[in-house]
Structures are given as structure tokens and as C-alpha cells.
């Protein structure tokens, strides 16, 4: 067989072999994308029963947060019922959860309407201590502010301690501030709008802790971030 004929035969065999590949069942694996989330009930409708797709987050009373749970990333059906109300604000809606992200969904509102705000915290694979913006003090507390105050266009929250402080400015309803590093201590925390104090309280933050301080109604509450 001449070299030219041999070459033609090899090309034909190659084409035949390629045509036998099952393209409908390629040998490849699919990635199972995940997120992590908790729910925080700050609505004025009483307790909230929360379910995301087929995962139950339980019944959350006013001011209560759930545990973080792993969920499938992407668009998921959120179902929230308020058994202490007339049911007019019971919710079924689609929410999108970013791949490999961890966050808290705050449930806000009253009989006039309910809103849901997904405040992102970090990547799942990211070391929590990497949230600390002060590398010189790795044992500092890390704090952010979340505003659930619908009665004001914007508020500023001033966190003042003996050795450190920070100011979270221009927070609208549903906004969260950046994380700030502060020394573990007792702090005076005041909520102001247009340079007028709305309310204040005293809060304590422990060494190495990561916190979200939610301001709502005339209350403040610390939630531990994981």
C-alpha cells in the first residue's frame, strides 16, 4: 500500500471513530453549586414561618434569627407565612442566591407591605477572620450596621467606645454598612437623622467576634455572624 493510500485510510478510520462518539452523553460531571443563608425576622407582623424551596427555617418570632443553612445556589422559591396576622402579607416569591456566598435575609415590614433584604457577608470558602480590615489587631471585634428603619430616608449610626469608634453614614431602609474593626469593649451606639438623635443604647462586643447590629423601631439587637 502506498503512503498516499495509507494516509487516506487513516483519515477515513479517524472520521468513523469520531462519528461513534455519543455526544448526547458526554463524559463530564456537573458542579453542585451551593450558598449559605439565615433568616432574620424584623417585621412588625409577629412570628414568621420561613421555608426556602424544600428547606424549613422554622418559626421565627419578632427579633429572632435562624441558623445558617446550606442551600442550592440560584433562583429559589421563598415562602413566608405570618400566622399572627390576617395572611394578607404571606409571601411566595423567587429569590436569587449567589454561588458560594453567605448572607442574611432580613424580613422587614408591616401590614402595608413586607420587604426582604439579602445582606451578603462573605464567601463560604473565605476565612471569617479575613473580614477584619485591621490586620494589626487580629483579635478585634468586627461590626457592621443594618438599618431596618423605614420612617427615615437616611440615618447615621455612631458607635463610640473608650479606645475606638466608627460612624456608619447615609444608611437607607434595608442598607448595611461595611464591616469595621473595633476593640472589644462596651460602646455607646446612637442613631441620628439630620443631626438629631433618634434613639441610643449601650452594646458590648467580644474579642474576635463578628456581628451585625440591626436598628429597628426604637431597638438595637446584635446578631452573631458565622
Q: How high is the pLDDT of residue 129?
A: 79
SS (HEC) of the chain: CCHHHHHHHHHHHHHHHHHCCCCCCCCCCCCCCEEEEEEEECCCCCCEEEEECCEEEEEECCCCECCCEEEECEEEEEEEECCCCCCCCCEEEEEEECCCEEEEEEEEEECCEEEEEEEEEEECCCCHHHHCCCCCCCCCEEEEEEECCCCCCCEEEEEECCCCEEEEEEECCCCECCCEEECCEEEEEEEEECCEEEEEEEEEECCCCEEEEEEECCEEEEEECC
In degrees and rounded to multiples of 5, residue 179 shows phi and psi of -70, 140
Pairing verdict, β 180-182 and 69-72: unpaired
- The span from the CA of 129 to the CA of 35, in Å, is 19
Alpha-carbon radius of gyration of the chain: 26
Q: Quick one: cell of 173?
A: 431602609
Question: What is the value of pTM for the model shown?
Answer: 0.83
Q: How high is the pLDDT of residue 30?
A: 53
**CB-CB contact of 107 with 125 (8 Å):** no
- The span from the CA of 146 to the CA of 155, in Å, is 11
Q: How high is the pLDDT of residue 166?
A: 96
Per-10-residue mean pLDDT of the chain, 226 residues long, equals 49 47 50 92 97 97 97 97 97 96 97 96 87 84 96 95 95 96 96 93 95 95 94
Q: How far is CA 198 from each of CA 44, 146, 193, 194, rounded to the nearest angstrom? A: 19, 16, 7, 10
Q: How high is the pLDDT of residue 42?
A: 97
Amino acid at each position: 500500500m502506498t503512503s498516499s493510500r495509507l494516509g487516506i485510510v487513516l483519515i477515513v478510520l479517524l472520521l468513523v471513530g469520531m462519528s461513534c462518539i455519543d455526544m448526547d452523553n458526554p463524559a463530564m460531571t456537573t458542579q453542585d453549586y451551593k450558598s449559605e443563608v439565615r433568616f432574620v425576622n424584623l417585621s412588625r407582623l409577629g412570628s414568621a414561618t420561613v421555608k426556602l424551596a424544600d428547606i424549613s427555617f422554622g418559626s421565627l418570632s419578632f427579633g429572632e434569627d435562624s441558623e445558617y443553612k446550606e442551600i442550592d445556589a440560584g433562583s429559589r422559591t421563598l415562602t413566608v407565612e405570618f400566622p399572627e396576622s390576617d395572611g394578607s402579607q404571606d409571601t411566595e416569591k423567587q429569590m436569587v442566591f449567589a454561588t458560594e456566598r453567605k448572607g442574611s435575609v432580613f424580613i422587614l415590614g408591616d401590614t402595608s407591605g413586607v420587604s426582604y433584604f439579602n445582606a451578603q457577608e462573605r464567601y463560604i470558602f473565605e476565612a471569617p477572620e479575613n473580614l477584619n480590615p485591621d490586620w494589626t489587631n487580629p483579635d478585634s471585634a468586627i461590626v457592621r450596621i443594618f438599618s431596618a428603619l423605614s420612617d427615615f430616608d437616611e440615618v447615621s449610626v455612631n458607635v463610640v467606645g473608650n479606645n475606638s469608634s466608627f460612624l456608619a453614614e447615609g444608611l437607607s431602609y434595608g442598607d448595611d454598612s461595611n464591616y469595621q474593626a473595633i476593640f472589644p469593649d462596651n460602646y455607646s451606639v446612637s442613631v441620628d437623622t439630620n443631626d438629631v438623635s433618634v434613639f441610643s443604647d449601650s452594646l458590648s462586643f467580644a474579642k474576635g467576634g463578628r456581628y451585625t447590629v440591626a436598628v429597628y423601631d426604637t431597638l438595637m439587637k446584635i446578631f452573631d455572624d458565622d
